[in-house]
């Protein structure tokens, strides 16, 4: 009994030590990242701006896709329903080039149609002649979101990433600007500037006996 309980306590202590080590490593990595970001505020701002722009881009990308409720059918079926007078009301989504109709039997149907003005006029006339209530939804907000997603946001995202990379190269961290390590004539190593290291190597070369 004593040996088993001692073994259990030992395994529990090892697990606790392992958990502390993991937490310590995570805290050390997080602290190093925080110090790095704090030292270069401009690059940090540009990086956070790029992340925010990427989130906005993907959110708007989903909102500009055509979306309609109901059952998807062919445009020929919509035309047949219009000729038979089975459509109660219809809505033309101008930007998505879709028509959404409600039929007399309670179904909600939608279909895509060509985005040309001639085809829209023909469809609008067929729905109007069937006696259905027809309205046109111009979807005023979608063109603006399309411009943002297709042009403005990608340009701003690219500018932020390029400026962040250029700023990091132009203003390196202190560790990259530290003096190089060079060996002294006595064999010990200490941080020496490049000029001092070159002078020390030249002095050692002069003290060496020439082969002739």
Summarised one tens digit per residue, pLDDT across range 84-134 is 889 999 999 988 889 999 999 999 999 998 877 788 888 888 999 988 999
- pLDDT higher than 60, residue 192: no
pLDDT attached to residue 153: 87
Three-state DSSP class for 140?
A: coil
Mean pLDDT of 13-37: 67
Q: Model confidence at 66, in pLDDT bands (50, 70, 90)?
A: confident
Mean pLDDT of 29-53: 77
- pLDDT higher than 50, residue 204: yes
Average pLDDT, the chain: 75
User: Which has the higher per-residue pLDDT, 197 or 118?
Assistant: 118
pTM of the model as a whole: 0.50
User: Which has the higher per-residue pLDDT, 153 or 202?
Assistant: 153
Instruction: Give the domains, in start order, of the chain with CATH numbers.
Output: 71-139 (3.30.720.210), 180-206 (no CATH)
Question: What is the tens place of the pLDDT at every residue in 151-166?
Answer: 888 898 888 888 877 7
Task: Classify residue 184 as left (phi > 0), alpha (psi -120 to 50) or beta.
Answer: beta
139-177 core/surface letters (b: 16 or more CB in 10 A; e: else): eeebeebeebbeeebeebbeebbebbeebeeeeeeeeee
Distance CA 212, CA 203 (A): 19
pLDDT attached to residue 175: 47
Q: Give the highest mean pLDDT range of 62-76, 175-189, 193-207.
A: 62-76
């Amino acid at each position: 009994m004593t040996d088993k309980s001692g073994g259990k306590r030992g395994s529990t202590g090892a697990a606790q030590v392992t958990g502390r080590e993991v937490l310590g490593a995570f805290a050390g990595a997080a602290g190093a990242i925080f110090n790095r970001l704090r030292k270069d505020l401009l690059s940090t701002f540009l990086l956070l701006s790029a992340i925010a722009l990427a989130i906005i881009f993907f959110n708007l990308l989903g909102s500009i896709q055509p979306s309609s409720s109901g059952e998807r059918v062919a445009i020929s079926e919509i035309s047949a329903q219009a000729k038979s007078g089975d459509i109660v009301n219809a809505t033309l989504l101008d930007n998505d080039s879709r028509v959404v109709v409600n039929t007399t039997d309670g179904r909600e149907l939608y279909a895509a149609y060509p985005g040309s003005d001639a085809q829209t006029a023909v469809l609008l006339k067929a729905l109007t002649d069937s006696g259905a209530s027809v309205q046109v939804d111009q979807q005023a907000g979608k063109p603006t979101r399309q411009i943002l997603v297709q042009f403005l946001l990608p340009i701003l995202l690219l500018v932020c990433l390029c400026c962040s990379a250029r700023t990091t190269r132009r203003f390196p961290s202190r560790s990259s600007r530290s003096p190089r390590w060079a060996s002294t004539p006595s064999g010990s190593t200490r941080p020496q500037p490049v000029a001092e290291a070159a002078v020390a190597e030249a002095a050692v070369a002069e003290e060496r006996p020439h082969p002739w």
